[in-house]
A and B are shown apart, each in its own frame.
Chain A
Amino acid sequence: MSLLRRAPALTLLVMLGPVFAGLAGTLLPAFGILPALGRVEPGLMPFSELAAWPGLPRAVALSLGTGLGATLLALALTVLICAGWQGTRSFRWLERALSPLLSVPHAAAAFGLAFLIAPSGWIARALAPLLGWERPPDLLILQDPWGLSLTAGLVVKEMPFLLLMTLAALPALRPGQSLATARSLGYGRSAGWLKTVFPRLYPQIRLPVYAVLAFSMSVVDVAMILGPNTPPTLAVQVLRWMNDPDLALRLRGAAGALLQLALTLAALGIWRLGEIAVARMGRAWIETGARGSHDAPVRALAIGAGALSALAILLGLVALGVWSVAAFWGFPAMLPDAFTAKSWMKQGPQLLAPAGDTALIALIATGVALALVLACLEAEHRFGLRPSARALWLLYLPLIVPQIAFLPGLQILALVSGIDGTLAAVIAAHVIFVLPYVFLSLADPYRGWDRRNALVGHALGASAARVFWRLRLPMLLRPVLTAAAVGCAVSVGQFLPTLLLGGGRVQTLTTEAVALASGGARRVIGVTALAQTAAAFLPFALALLVPALVWRNRKGLRHG
């Protein structure tokens, strides 16, 4: 019983301890201390070197611009789609199409998108006969200096996340009733939704939005594939310094990692100011009483953009699939000269061992996270603990602190303690990132469970533990499995934590995919990215299938 009471504290320790320990490990080299290189004198050298790097202003501007732009666009799209289409059949279709896309790993989505929009990609190939292109046009579409393709890649991948977060928060707000009232007063669908539902919705999705902003600014793999490289974004440049043959550059890299952290905080500050400004303007707009009844163009734009995002990821996956079975495939052919299973025959067997480790790590990390989250929620329920807003912030901390800022420090820590290169170290690192997502997915359904069931149970003589095991958990089977699936998908997608704490000895589908991707061979990328996507998608399929099977004779429970 007392153990259960301590569950929230234990959970925070497991999640935040490594983040702070890792940050401390980054702080020292940033101020010039790296004993392995004989640097023991503290100083500001790394920062002055960082400031002297000619690409700094552009790299910083790029990180800020792409991060803020991608977040703003993804949020605007999400809100407009919900405003214009919530409750319609098209909305349900889009919801169904977007949810699985959440499980597509970022790198795989980025590769797919890159092949679609490149000047030698599918779109250009489709246009080639019409425009008479025999060669791909020399256009700077991918890796453009403004980071537009990077922003687009982030938007299509983050929008499904925000949409699902919104969908989770919406039911409690009873948007149907608000909208019906607003429409009966003559408001258009979108305007009515924006004026009555959105102001109550935003506080519910604020933290996920912040997480998207922080992630977009510090993402490494997507930025390497779609982002510019003359110079790249700050996060990519920091990684380059950390990996430079000149070991002294690691000090500059550590300073850059701290700058990245400061930049993320600054962006969150800018966003917060933007929130206040939008709230003011929004209030004024609401008070005008404008009915906004002609919203057809906005609605069309929203659903069009939403469908386009879904299509981009799906077509990208198809492209990866075609590449994985392609023999020679030159420009401007729409399809390869011939198909061959060579790539799969060659790569497939080599992927089996990493696939096993991927599954093992994902299952254990998710299991640990799930147990901690359930213990927290059950403690909340039994002891009447109310999580404060601050506790929620703590939950989001691992998602907001840039990975590059604390993982290298964490690696040193693991080395000192001698657990590096083990599955345990990798699993512990995965738990840091899996936990917040599992908590976010499970908290609302868990708290929303009808307590009268428990009362009936107790009245019949069942203990609190028995109510938990025999009533609550089985009834919440579907949300628990969904949360587990989200956790597995997050674990499967982790690259930096696996690389740094696994010391290269723990290989997962993602580390294999990124290592092979460095060779740029599209066929191999196709095979590994599809395997990675399958690994992330499988748990989602199971989360749908298992409750349907277990509760095939309990109609009311099948849909959680």
Chain B
Amino acid sequence: MKSMLAAATLAATLAMPALADPDPTDWDAVTAEAEGQTVYWNAWGGSDVINDFIAWIGEQAAEQGVTLEHVKLTDTAEAVSRVLAEKSAGKDDGGGIDLIWINGENFASMKEGGLLFGPWAEALPNRALTDPENTALTADFTVPTEGMESPWGMAQLVFFHDSARLAEPPRSMSTLLAWAQANPGRFTFPQPPDFLGATFLKQALIEFSPDMMALEGPVEDADYEATTAPLWAFMDELTPNLWRQGRAYPQNGARLVQLMADNEIDIGFDFNPNAASNAIANGQLPDTVRSHVHEGGTLGNASFVAIPYNANAKAGAMVVADILLSPEAQARMADPEVWGLGTVLDVASLEPEQLLLFDRIEFGPATLKPEDLGETLPEPHPSWMVKLEEDWTARYGVAQ
């Protein structure tokens, strides 16, 4: 009897947090619960442009009674580590992280590990402003999002060059190789597993891959050797012609911008189509820098936010995620003066006064018009990225 009672109490205690979780379909209850909550948003803190935007989101959240604290990370994985450490320690509620700016690889890993709260994202009021048919929002690196994360920005791989030094940039991986062979030491990419560096590998894989379909499924189901053989042939030729002969790599995209500014390289790239315009506005790059894309299209994906399973302020986190989707926030984010990340909203279906917010945006000289951005290529399954990173590291990352 005693043990049964204990078991019942235990079951009740275990069920408690689940019962107390806010229901996103009852939005009024969510906003009521969110009032007075403090949301710790763990987001990469390496860009002051983005940090400023997040601070502005914090001001909007304050109007709804939610205090937003930006926890600046050097790497999103720090937040994943932390949720994992909390789970290890049995801290299944009242966790330290309420919202994470997450990428496809970490999302797949956290979703698989049962570290996420949800589904909640598709019930957000402002989610209705997006295009339900947009596959970039329903799948993250081909992994179905299933309402476990909410989109807030569209990114696309865009290259940039200094038109004063390089009049006509190469517009495909094969012409890039020919150009690098003629101009050794003037191109590089961030070292995988950096996100942007891995993106460069994937872009090259897609441009050379004979079988696009294979990339949509897990790497185990594909003929990996045959699919990646052209990529490694390309990398073998490219690597000795890289900056520092491929014996050192910049750590991330921001260092790539710095290398451009220092005249160490002639071509850079970023996942934010506005990176070059931003850098010009901040005095980091000369105003002769221009953007370009590759002819067959470039990789694109959405940025998401997710809520850990043990978050302390789930309701507040949902309110912040909803603010991120508001036309005001989306238009501000898309403004190159502020940040310049693409909107996830279906602009064509917006109300006229909402549309006006977007029409007002002036694009910088180094920002391509939406029609010049070309086709957006879908991301391969995340297992490809993992395998490519491993292989690249074994081939080039540790061999001196």
Residues of A within 8 A of B (CB): 34-37, 54-55, 58-59, 118-120, 134-136, 138-140, 142-145, 224, 228-231, 240, 242-247, 250, 326-332, 340, 342, 346-347, 350, 408, 411-412, 415-416, 418, 420-421, 499, 503-505, 507, 511-512, 514-524
Let me know if B81 and A55 touch, CB within 8 A.
no
CB proximity of A503 to chain B, nearest CB, Å: 4
Does A36 contact B286, Cβ atoms closer than 8 Å? Answer: no
Chain A residue numbers with a CB within 8 Å of B108 are: 245
Inter-subunit contact A518/B75 (CB<8 Å): yes
Which of B44-52, B117-125, B211-219, B349-357 is the interface stretch? B44-52
User: Do the beta carbons of A520 and B46 come within 8 Å of each other?
Assistant: yes
Q: Which residue of A136, A142, A144, A242 contacts B263 across the interface (Cβ within 8 Å)?
A: A136
Q: Determine whether the beta carbon of B397 is less than 8 Å from that of A231.
A: yes
For the complex, give the distance between the alpha carbons of A139 and B243 in Å: 9
Pairwise interchain contact B81-A145, C-beta atoms closer than 8 A: no
In the complex, are the beta carbons of B48 and A524 less than 8 A apart? Answer: yes
Q: Which residues of A contact B81 (CB under 8 A)?
A: 242-243, 250
Residue among A37, A408, A515 making CB contact with B73, cutoff 8 Å: A515
Number of A-B contacts (CB under 8 A): 198
B176 at the interface (CB under 8 A from A): no
Count residues of B near A (Cβ-Cβ below 8 Å). 74
Bound form: Cα–Cα A59–B262 in Å: 29
Find out whether the CB atom of B87 lies under 8 angstroms from the CB atom of A243.
no
Q: Whose C-beta in chain A lies nearest to the C-beta of B42?
A: A504
A420 touches B96 (CB 8 A): yes
- Bound-state Cα–Cα, A37 to B73, Å: 23
Please name 8 further chain A to chain B contacts, defined as beta carbons within 8 Å, in addition to the given A36-B87, A412-B88, A504-B71, sorted by A numbering.
A55-B393, A120-B262, A138-B244, A145-B400, A326-B283, A503-B82, A518-B251, A523-B283
Say yes or no for B257: interface residue by CB 8 A criterion: yes
Q: How far is the CA of A538 from the CA of B108 in the complex (A)?
A: 46
With contacts A245-B77, A247-B109, A504-B82 taken as known, whether A230 is within 8 angstroms of B251 at the C-beta atoms is: no
Does the CB pair A230–B397 fall under 8 Å?
Answer: yes
Contacts of B393 in A (CB 8 A): 54-55
Collect the chain A residues with CB atoms within 8 Å of residue B245's CB. Answer: 138, 140
Select which of B45, B46, B247, B286 is within 8 A of A330 by beta carbon.
Answer: B286
Quick check: is B185 within 8 A (CB to CB) of the other chain?
yes
Alpha-carbon gap, A37 to B78, bound state (A): 16
B residues whose Cβ falls under 8 Å from a Cβ of A: 40, 42, 44-48, 51-52, 55, 69, 71-82, 84-91, 96-97, 103, 105-106, 108-109, 113, 184-185, 191, 193, 243-245, 247-252, 254-255, 257-259, 261-264, 282-286, 386, 393-394, 396-400
Q: List 10 A-B contacts (CB under 8 A).
A: A58-B398, A136-B262, A138-B185, A140-B244, A230-B396, A331-B261, A504-B78, A505-B69, A516-B48, A518-B254
CA distance A421 to B85 in the complex (A): 13
Chain B contacts of A328 at CB under 8 A?
A: 261, 283-286
- Could you say which of A138, A230, A245, A518 contacts B46, with CB atoms under 8 Å apart? A518
Complex Cα distance A92/B284, Å?
Answer: 42
**Contact indicator B105/A119 (Cβ below 8 Å):** no
Enumerate chain A residues within 8 angstroms of B250, measured Cβ to Cβ. Answer: 520
Residues from chain B with Cβ under 8 Å of A408 in the complex: 85
Partner pick for A520 among B78, B254, B386, CB 8 A cutoff: B254
- A55 near B252 with CB under 8 A, answer no
The interface residues of chain A lying within 8 Å CB-to-CB of B73 are 504, 515
Q: Roughly how many angstroms separate A418 CA and B72 CA in the complex, as a whole number?
A: 22
* Smallest CB separation, B109 vs chain A (Å): 5
Contact residues in B for A418 (Cβ distance below 8 Å): 91
List, in ascending order, chain B residues with CB within 8 A of A330's CB. 261-263, 286
A465 to chain B, nearest CB (A): 43
CB distance from B107 to the nearest CB of A (A): 9
A139 partner residues in chain B, CB cutoff 8 A: 244
> What 10 pairs between A and B have smallest CB-CB spacing?
A519-B46, A55-B398, A120-B262, A415-B89, A520-B254, A138-B185, A504-B71, A36-B88, A518-B74, A243-B77
**Once the chains are docked, how many angstroms separate the CA of A34 from the CA of B249?**
33
Q: How far is the CA of A147 from the CA of B51 in the complex (A)?
A: 34
With beta carbons under 8 angstroms apart, the residue of B71, B263, B386 that contacts A505 is B71
Contact A230-B48, Cβ < 8 Å, known A504-B78, A505-B40: no
- Judge whether B248 and A346 touch: CB under 8 Å: no
- Are B398 and A519 touching (Cβ within 8 A)? no
Q: A346-B48, A415-B88 are in contact. Are A120 and B398 (CB under 8 A)?
A: no
Establish whether residues A505 and B96, one from each chain, have CB atoms under 8 Å apart when the complex forms: yes
When the two chains form their complex, are residues A54 and B261 in contact, meaning their CB atoms are under 8 A apart?
no
A58 to chain B: which residues have CB within 8 Å?
Answer: 398, 400
Q: A247-B109, A421-B96 given as contacts; is B262 within 8 A of A224 (CB)? A: no
CA distance A120 to B263 in the complex (A): 8
